[in-house]
């Protein structure tokens, strides 16, 4: 019987998941899947972490909801204190919404309001990066550049400038030194600013580590330092989208900590709630918040479920677990083991072009020709075949097409829970290797 629910694929009958067991998801027929992607880099504590469940239950038994225009709640205040304490010193304000797309929208609006309250009403344009993904709301689609997702709504989106991402595997020229590439790609931002109407740029938004679209692409050394210099020189708000890569996924609370920089606004979501309740957040620097406090004295936007009490209680329990169990360090340790295993298994594979990532956010990119880095024909839908085959082997990963430009390229992203043990890493590698062998054998490529 056809489901009455509107699923992502209207012509697919989805299996019914009924239970979680650490890093595993269990179906109604008892089938177990090792979740090596955390869903979509969400389930950082696995699917049955009791302290988070109990924190949400306690809050629901006391007070499930109040509207933020009437009252604050203890969980909201506690989460804000904890998140700020785990953030760089310049961040003293946190705002909570229901997910990553809403958090990105809030960051864009906050950047605009900052300029308005600072006497710069002409600052209205946002610069993003090519083939980036920031969410599925209209504003997030506008600043992002996901070809397939944007295409149906293109006539409805505001024109946005997009510069090249920092993606050396596909962007670095033959014979070009890495530092020269870094300067060249960062300076695209400067050129884009100069080509616009003077003093019209409000913000630049980028994923610190490129997430689902490109597949776990860390920035080159010095890239974001140069970006910061450019933004500071032109008084442009720097928004770093860490919905995918933040909240410990790279071994630090924020991925930008590895770069030695601090943005004006940072956006997190997925790992903040760890899948137990929908929640997203932004943290803002004092330089952004003070003009708004002195001016309007209120944000020019809001949501019904902003700062939801049960979601905040759950997120506080998530952050507490990450900090008290030293999971940042564990991400680094287990991530190194996963990377070593991927390289051992696939470095010599004729169709594996690149293995990359940081912490427990890693990816394998597949190519038709390793020497030229030529991708497979998109019509082959290699990523979809890999997803089907890994699932058949009892493994969940995050395959994606359009790695290079939104159309061409295939990769698999791995973002397993921070709690994975060594035996789970071995299981991931064994099942992924079998799936890759099966797919390429079926396609008669190997």
pLDDT attached to residue 243: 98
pTM for the model: 0.97
266 strand-pairing partners: 240, 283
Structure-derived torsion over alpha carbons of residues 95, 98, 101, 102, reported in degrees to the nearest 10: -50
**Nearest 5°: phi and psi at 430?**
-65, -45
pLDDT attached to residue 30: 97
Residues with pLDDT less than 70, the chain: 445-446
Tokens 């910061």 sit on residue:
228
Contacts of 12 (CB under 8 A, 6+ apart): none
Q: Is 28 left (phi over 0), alpha (psi -120 to 50) or beta?
A: alpha
User: Alpha-carbon distance 201 to 218, whole Å?
Assistant: 26
Structure tokens at 403: 């790695």
Contacts of 377 (CB under 8 A, 6+ apart): 368
Tokens 């009403």 sit on residue:
121
- On whether the CB atoms of residues 412 and 364 are closer than 8 A, the answer is yes
C-beta atoms surrounding 296 within 10 Å:
12
Tell how strand 265-268 and strand 237-241 pair up: parallel
Q: Among residues 215, 225, 153, which one has the least CA distance to residue 187?
A: 225
Q: Among residues 273, 268, 209, 196, which one has the least CA distance to residue 236?
A: 196
Structure tokens at 90: 């310049």
Structure tokens at 97: 């919404």
Structure tokens at 304: 């019904």
**Each residue's pLDDT tens digit, 262-315:** 999 999 999 999 999 999 999 999 999 999 999 999 998 899 999 999 999 999
3-state secondary structure at position 408: coil
pLDDT attached to residue 446: 53
Tokens 């204190």 sit on residue:
81
Residue 74 half-sphere exposure toward CB, CA atoms < 13 A = 8
pLDDT attached to residue 16: 94
Structure tokens at 121: 């009403």
pLDDT attached to residue 52: 98
Structure tokens at 340: 């070593």
Going edge to edge, which strands form the sheet with 17-21? 17-21, 24-27, 32-35, 395-396
- On whether the CB atoms of residues 429 and 416 are closer than 8 A, the answer is no
**Nearest 5°: phi and psi at 100?**
-65, -45
R_g of the chain, CA atoms, integer Å:
22
User: Alpha-carbon distance 83 to 76, whole Å?
Assistant: 11
pLDDT attached to residue 118: 96
């Amino acid at each position: 019987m056809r489901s009455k629910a509107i699923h992502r694929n209207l012509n697919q009958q989805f299996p019914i998941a009924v239970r979680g067991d650490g890093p595993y998801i269990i179906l109604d027929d008892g089938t177990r899947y090792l979740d090596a992607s955390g869903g979509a880099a969400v389930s950082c504590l696995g699917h049955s972490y009791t302290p988070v469940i109990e924190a949400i239950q306690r809050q629901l038994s006391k007070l499930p909801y109040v509207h933020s225009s009437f009252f604050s709640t203890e969980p909201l205040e506690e989460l804000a204190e904890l998140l700020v304490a785990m953030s760089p010193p310049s961040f003293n304000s946190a705002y909570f919404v229901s997910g990553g797309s809403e958090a990105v929208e809030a960051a864009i609006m906050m950047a605009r309001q900052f300029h308005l309250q600072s006497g710069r009403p002409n600052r209205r344009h946002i610069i993003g990066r090519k083939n980036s993904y920031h969410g599925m709301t209209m504003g997030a689609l506008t600043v992002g550049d996901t070809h397939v997702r944007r295409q149906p709504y293109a006539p409805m989106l505001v024109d946005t400038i997009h510069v090249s991402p920092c993606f050396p595997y596909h962007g670095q020229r033959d014979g070009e030194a890495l530092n020269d590439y870094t300067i060249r790609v960062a300076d695209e931002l400067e050129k884009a600013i100069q080509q616009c109407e003077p003093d019209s740029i409000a913000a630049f938004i980028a994923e610190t580590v490129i997430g689902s679209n490109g597949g776990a692409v860390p920035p080159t050394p010095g890239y974001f330092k140069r970006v910061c210099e450019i933004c500071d020189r032109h008084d442009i708000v720097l928004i770093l989208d860490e919905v995918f890569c933040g909240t410990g996924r790279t071994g630090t609370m924020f991925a930008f900590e590895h770069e030695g920089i601090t943005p004006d606004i940072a956006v997190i979501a997925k790992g903040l709630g760890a899948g137990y309740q929908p929640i997203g957040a932004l943290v803002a620097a004092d330089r952004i918040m003070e003009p708004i406090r002195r001016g309007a004295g209120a944000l020019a936007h809001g949501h019904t479920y902003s700062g939801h009490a049960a979601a905040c209680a759950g997120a506080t329990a998530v952050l507490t677990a990450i900090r008290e169990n030293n999971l940042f360090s564990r991400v680094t340790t287990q991530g190194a083991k996963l990377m070593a295993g991927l390289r051992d298994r696939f470095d010599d594979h004729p169709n594996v072009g690149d293995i990359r990532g940081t912490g427990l956010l890693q990816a394998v990119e597949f190519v038709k020709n390793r020497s030229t880095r030529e991708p497979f024909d998109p019509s082959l839908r290699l990523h979809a075949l890999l997803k089907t085959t890994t699932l058949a082997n009892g493994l969940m990963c995050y395959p994606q097409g359009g790695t290079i430009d939104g159309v061409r390229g295939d990769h698999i992203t791995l973002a397993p829970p921070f709690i994975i043990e060594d035996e789970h890493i071995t299981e991931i590698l064994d099942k992924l290797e079998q799936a890759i062998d099966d797919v390429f054998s079926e396609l008669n490529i190997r």
